[in-house]
A and B are shown apart, each in its own frame.
Chain A
């Protein structure tokens, strides 16, 4: 049942415990208990909103930065990854397979902000050997949510 609850919340974090209980055919209390446990155990890490920032004048820019690093003996990539993730500019950090090591998503108000952050902060970390910055031009889909679709229901509305 935990998995079912997680799947519902991952789709829509605003479902109430009562609604989820109805949909899953269980008691409301069971949903609440499960969520408590999921939060306590750290399976649920937070609840956020999917925002289409481009609709706002003060939209931000973001970039995906590929980073190559020299792993430290005994510490692997952990040390540098943990250092990078502490920056408030950094949205996500992933260790990657393939030609580079860390994939870092960075956001800032302007291109210059990000350029400055990469030059001054990321590149200067001593184990970082190179960075490649890709600016995001347009978001089509974010966290499973389509940002550009009109969601027009074109079905015949009274087909019996």
Chain B
């Protein structure tokens, strides 16, 4: 009989399974649950993108592509990043097409982080940075961003977290789950702290198209930061292409070449059909994206106003597609709130603690739903608060 505790890697077994998994499993078995839990768009991938994928299949484009991704796609990514965010990358050796933004994040951290290196991670944020850092042998250093700073990373916090072991700073903006964005002047202040260091910035800009009122600023576009930044982006959120699994990492050749080695041996290449579809997305879908952003914006206002009306303080999220209201006024913990809400009103939201301890006192509600759905969910949450 194999003693599995002896054969499995302690690096992996030490990673705690998500504590809220159980809660989600309960929700999944209940009928008539109205969920604000998803983290992906409800829009279909625009038809012309799907069509481009189908056409590539009809033409028999079913083989591996270059490890780096199709040349034409890398060229389009290069044009896109210049046109949208004013950053320049050479398609020949500074852009790698990856399996979603997630793979790019993993490969980037593995390429840069050695045992004992510290990776600074602002939280609340997406859940992958911490475990990936640990798998690479690094040490996550958490910065708790604050509601009163609109969940932005401040230069003071960053300065205080930097040690001589700091290797990477993760910049997850626009931010899932807080909806925070970093404006140009915010990024410039961060850049000042980093300027004379060797710290590499992993800028996860997967929600870059989804900002409201303000255009997204890429960290690599800040004066002097290009050389230390790996920009990660992708097609999932901006073009409603989550299931296609396609993203990219861009940065200085010296880094991207190493990331590409990892990609080459672990993955070979990103899905071919998805790559052909993505060319169409970048070439001809600005209008579609604009239409979706407009729709998200209306839902966002409806949700934020709804939460505030029922008495849950909710700051205006400026990016991504989540509202992150405070539930502190209820006296409950985030998990307690979510569990009771699920059982009594059959509404599912995600406790803020799923995104780090600093998410305590908040819940994440996605507005990737129809306005009718959002209204119904908020009505029920309002009843829940009144029943207490």
Contacts and interface: CB of A to CB of B under 8 A. Distances in A.
Contacts of B127: 160
Contacts of B28: 157-158
Size bracket of the A interface: 10 to 19
B305 interface: yes
Nearest to B298: A23
A157 B37 contact: yes
Given A12-B371, A160-B354, A160-B355, A155 B302 contact: no
Contacts, number: 56
A159 B177 CA distance: 12
Given A157-B24, A158-B27, A160-B355, A19 B38 contact: no
Given A23-B371, A160-B126, A155 B40 contact: yes
B86 to A, nearest CB: 28
B296 to A, nearest CB: 11
Contacts of A158: 20, 24, 27-28, 35, 37-38, 348, 350
Given A157-B24, A158-B27, A158-B348, A22 B37 contact: no
Interface string A19-33: 100111100000000
Nearest to A151: B370
Contacts of A19: 302, 371, 375
A8 B299 CA distance: 12
B38 A156 contact: yes
Nearest to B24: A158
Contact of A159 (B33, B39, B302, B355): B39
A20 to B, nearest CB: 9
A22 B355 contact: no
Which range contains the number of B residues in contact with the other chain?
20 to 34
Given A12-B371, A22-B305, A157 B298 contact: no
A44 to B, nearest CB: 20
B302 A22 contact: yes
Interface in A7-65: 8, 12, 15, 19, 22-25
A64 B302 CA distance: 40
Contact of A157 (B18, B38, B42, B305): B38
Contact of A155 (B27, B38, B348): B38
Contacts of A22: 301-302, 305
Contacts of B35: 153, 157-158
Nearest to A25: B301
B343 to A, nearest CB: 16
A150 to B, nearest CB: 15
Contacts of B355: 160
Nearest to A18: B305
Nearest to A20: B298
18 contacts: A12-B372, A19-B375, A23-B299, A24-B298, A24-B301, A25-B301, A155-B40, A156-B40, A157-B33, A157-B38, A157-B348, A158-B24, A158-B35, A158-B37, A158-B38, A160-B18, A160-B126, A160-B354
Given A157-B348, A158-B35, 20 more contacts: A12-B371, A19-B375, A23-B299, A23-B302, A24-B298, A24-B301, A25-B301, A155-B42, A157-B33, A157-B35, A158-B24, A158-B27, A158-B38, A159-B38, A159-B39, A159-B40, A160-B39, A160-B127, A160-B177, A160-B355
